[in-house]
Amino acid sequence: MIELRDVTVRSGDYCLEGISFQVQAGAYAVLMGRTGIGKTTLLEAICGLRRLVGGCVLLGGVDVSTWAPGDRRIGYMPQDLALFPTMTVQQHLEFALRLQRATSSVVAARVAELAGLLEIEHLLQRGVRGLSGGEAQRVALGRALAARPALLLLDEPISALDADTRRTARQMLKNLNRQTGVTVLHVTHDQEDAELLGDVCLQLERTSAGRVQVQSSGVGL
Amino acid sequence: MGSGAESLPVKLDGRRRGVSRDAVFFLVMGGLSASFVVLIVLLLLADVSFTSPAAFAAALRKPEILAAFRLTMLTCTLAAVLSVWVATPLGYLLSRFRFPGSRLVDVIVDIPIVLPPLVLGLSLLILFHQPFPLTGVFGAGWKLEDWLEEFAGFPVTYRWPAVVLAQFAVSCAFAVRTMRVTFDQINPRAEDVARTLGCTRGQAFLQVALPQAWRGILTAGTISWARALGEFGPILVFAGATRFRTEVLSTSVFLELSVGQLDAAVAVSLMMVLMAVAVLLFLRWLGAGMST
């Protein structure tokens, strides 16, 4: 389970104040809100890339607010995917496992498992420069999932894909959530994404007083 | 139809006027551009026509010129390696972080670029020979040069290390600029993602940012090397121009000129031109690789 309690985070002059919500373990939560309202800032705060000014982030009931990003067991997939241009697809899948000093056999088994799950076996030896949007997205997803995170943060993961690829990607994300049991927090602008994927919808809204708050709506929308 | 037929000559006329306006544009821009290109070509032609291949070869066989060539290669390479070694972390820090005084550091790094070369040499000389009031630590009147000579056994001023230091002081500033631009062009989010996957900042730098910066590192090294090759003023003041000791190619030109050996001065100049052209071609090749 992930819980935010009165989280305050700054991005330049912009400030999100007193953000609170919780998502049950294994749920697929969709985070929506207008452009520039602070969705990406919030994701960065959850995964530890942005320091909290106030409040706390709890994962499985443990306060991880002061933990280093790599200690939180969070997989993060930014909007631009941020693949590593000098690495092959296989090196992307191995990256987190190598940092954990996993044995070669464990690494090989996990890479094979992920490649099968994401249907990227044929891409393993390729660099990432020539990948299509859908392929790159699956590689980024595999990289984020490799170390079996407890929480997966997806920042508009399918917004740049064409309609067909998007449909497939939605199905893949939902399957991943069901098969691996990973809790997902998925930022999107697309109402259709929210309706088809979300168990829970979190809406970042600006109140008449100018504060941003989270409205949560229930299972199945 | 009628209106279309009537308007056609007007359109054509407009196009013709556009062509003539473009001709003026290209004439003016091309003329101004050509003036500089022609000047450089004339300079090179003048150098080439001044000497003969035989005189060129004879000048380059002189032992003092060969010694200067060897010292130039050594000092330029050392200065370039040192510059890249320092510029890579500094360029990364300036690109990625806003820390107290970062703007000041940014300005300080540029000072050697705008400082008159002789002033830089003089400043180095003063730094190494100025007595510092470090009474508590080393005693009154402590001098850096004396300390280096007596305790480290490594005197600098008027020796070859002074050549390297004078070259480094300028070329490192250019390397820092290059490395900063290099890291500005590399997506910092990849390093952020690496940190969420378990990297420390150091690991993210070494495993994600640095491999992407290899062309920038090569460019910074090449620019530093080229800048060191052309350095003259600070070397003259801080290292002197002693034959077989601190003479590099740029000071060779000066020394040959000062004793009236114009042939030798031109031969060394042409040699430096060839070295500079080789560096420029390498940089162009790197640039082409970067753009693809």
The two three-digit tokens of residue B158, written as one number: 């008027």
Using the predicted structure, report yes or no on whether residue B159 has a pLDDT greater than 50. Answer: yes
Task: Inform me whether the C-beta atom of residue A75 falls under 8 Å from chain B C-beta atoms.
Answer: yes
More confident: B109 or A205: B109
Task: Inform me whether the C-beta atom of residue A67 falls under 8 Å from chain B C-beta atoms.
Answer: no
Confidence category of residue B37, pLDDT binned at 50, 70, 90: very high
Using the predicted structure, report yes or no on whether residue B17 has a pLDDT greater than 80. Answer: no
Per-domain residue ranges of chain B: 1-50, 55-291
Confidence category of residue B50, pLDDT binned at 50, 70, 90: confident
User: Which of A44, A83, A99 is opposite residue B198, by nearest beta carbon?
Assistant: A99
Amino acid identity for residue A168 in this structure: T
Please enumerate in sequence order all residues whose Cβ is within 8 A of that of A117, keeping only pairs 6 or more positions apart, or say none.
A142, A176, A179
Question: β-pairing, A200-206 with A28-33?
Answer: parallel
Mutate to test the interface with A, among B197, B200, B207 (most CBs of A within 10 A): B197
Please enumerate in sequence order all residues whose Cβ is within 8 A of that of B6, keeping only pairs 6 or more positions apart, or say none.
none
Lowest mean pLDDT among A155-169, B85-99, B154-168: A155-169
Number of inter-chain CB pairs under 8 A, A vs B: 63
**Superfamily of domain B55-291, CATH level 4:** MetI-like (1.10.3720.10)
B228-254: pLDDT as tens digits: 999 999 999 999 999 999 999 999 999
Judge: A78–B211 Cβ closer than 8 Å, yes or no: no
Percent of chain B with pLDDT over 70: 89
Mutate to test the interface with A, among B196, B210, B217 (most CBs of A within 10 A): B196
Judge: A86–B193 Cβ closer than 8 Å, yes or no: no
Task: Inform me whether the C-beta atom of residue A95 falls under 8 Å from chain B C-beta atoms.
Answer: yes
Using the predicted structure, report yes or no on whether residue B2 has a pLDDT greater than 60. Answer: no
Sites in chain A below the pLDDT cut of 70? 208-210, 218-221
Which span out of A189-193, B137-141, B188-192 was modeled with the highest average pLDDT? B188-192
CB-CB contact of B180 with B94 (8 Å):
yes
Lowest mean pLDDT among A45-54, B103-112, B257-266: B257-266
CA atoms within 13 A on the CB side of B75: 32
More confident: B170 or B289: B170
ipTM computed for the complex? 0.92
Nearest CA in chain A to B210: A86
Domains of chain A: 2-217 (3.40.50.300)
Using the predicted structure, report yes or no on whether residue B220 has a pLDDT greater than 80. Answer: yes
Smallest Cα distance from B102 to chain A, Å: 17
Query: CA–CA separation, B132 vs B246, rounded Å?
Result: 27
